Structure 1
């Protein structure tokens, strides 16, 4: 009798003790809910705009971006505005050729949209990179003494993105 009563009291005590306990959140759960709670007394860790851009934009430096962009169609497909502004010369226009501007949906852009800059010298073509006052960058590719001339305008949105192509070739 004493044994069964002791076991009943023990079970009852254990049940009360367990029901009074609340699970304590792990450090990871607490950190996810409140970054400041991860380390007592620590300030919350926040990502800066530069950190976020660096994580999203693997090529923040324009020259590095341009090298990869001109060489990698997959990067071109991710880094072209939708729609892309394309200006070309209508050589058939009367009374004389005139510029024509189109908004080309990404699905209709012809790839590659820009030649590989590493191959330009072998083709007798030159490249000039010019930063603009508004923060954009223009890349002019041409073959001297011909009408073969294209200008590519890039802007950070937040990553570098091709916004406009002007093809002055006739």
Structure 2
């Protein structure tokens, strides 16, 4: 009977899309690996992950949570701008979500790490002398994932 269970177990493990690891601090964590693209988690620490995320569109597509929450100010609302919340599917997003270092230089955009902890990180993209301000929120669940965008530009 055990000879039947072993092949079935191996087969079931091969069908899964996540590789599970045991971490002494975080207990069980899931390390995301795509079945379609095979992209492994680019980095464990948030600064390195965000740098790689901003440079490679395939990484952005793979490590963005769908549906993605996007908050955006509506400057036409009265008496003050209100926040509009949308939940976007992959086909509703335009990539790259974060411009590459070269594109940021071309557009005179600056990126700054706002906060980073063991499980959350955020960066803000700004343009000097303008009201352009977009904050990107990442959450770690095995690997970092973009989970929310807050566009505070007017």
Task: Judge same fold: TM > 0.5, yes or no.
Answer: yes
* SS across alignment from 1:82: strand
Are 2:59 and 1:85 aligned? Answer: no
Q: Does 1:49 align with 2:23?
A: yes
- Contact kept? 1:84, 1:104, Cα under 8 Å: yes
Write the mapping of 1:1-170 to structure 2, written as runs, cut at 5 A.
48-49=22-23, 53=31, 56-132=40-116, 135-170=119-154
CA distance in 2, matches of 1:121, 1:159: 28
Q: Could you say which structure has the higher strand fraction?
A: 2
Structure 2: gaps (5+ residues): 1-6, 11-20, 34-39
Could you give the per-residue CA deviations for residues 91-139 of structure 1, whole angstroms, max 9, x where no partner exists?
A: 2212332111111122211111111134424432222102345731110
1:88 offset after TM fit, Å? 0.5
CA distance in 1, matches of 2:102, 2:117: 27
- Measured in 2, the distance between the counterparts of 1:132 and 1:61 equals 9
Deviations 1:9-45, CA, capped at 9 Å, x for gaps: xxxxxxxxxxxxxxxxxxxx9xx8xxxxxxxxxxxxx
Q: Is the 8 A contact 1:54 1:60 kept in 2?
A: no
Runs of 5+ unmatched residues, structure 1: 1-28, 33-46
Identify the structure with bigger relative contact order (alpha carbons < 8 Å, sequence gap 6+): 2
TM-score, normalising length: structure 1: 0.63
Normalised TM-score (structure 2): 0.69
In structure 2, the CA distance between the partners of 1:57 and 1:49, relative to structure 1 (3 Å rule), is: farther
CA distance in structure 2 between the aligned counterparts of 1:133 and 1:64, rounded to whole angstroms: 14
Secondary structure in 2 matching 1:120: helix
Q: Which one has a larger percent helix, Structure 1 or Structure 2?
A: 1
Moved over 3 A (4+): 47-56
8 Å contact kept, 2:69–2:149: yes
Distance 1:118 1:61, change over 3 A: farther
Once the two structures are TM-superposed, the CA of residue 62 in structure 1 deviates from its matched residue by 1.9
